[in-house]
Amino acid sequence: GSDTQGTVRRVADLGWASKVSLELTDGQRLVAHSPNDQIQGIGDGSTVYVDLRDAKVFAPKGAPPSDELAQA
């Protein structure tokens, strides 16, 4: 249903949580923050599935506002 496949590019340990850099199958990149107990065994090159229902989208610094995502 709402799961999207991606490949882990980098995992950075932040203590109790980790920052996971992912690349989706369509080439889009995203960063996820997850508690370490939910990503045990995941490392660079792992294939994962992400739930994007509550995703937060941030425009690059200095980018003009866009309605592109609202129309998708």
Tokens found for residue 28: 């889009």
Name the β-bridge partners of 30. Answer: 22
51 versus 71: the higher-pLDDT residue is 51
Residue of 14 and 55 predicted with greater confidence = 14
φ, ψ at 18 (rounded to 5°)? -135, 150
The residue type found at 54 is D
Res. 2 pLDDT band, cuts 50 70 90: low
Q: Answer yes or no: are the C-beta atoms of 28 and 69 closer than 8 Å.
A: no
Q: Where are the beta strands (DSSP E) in the chain?
A: 3-13, 17-24, 29-35, 47-51
pLDDT exceeds cutoff 90 at 36:
yes
Check: pTM over 0.85? Answer yes or no: no
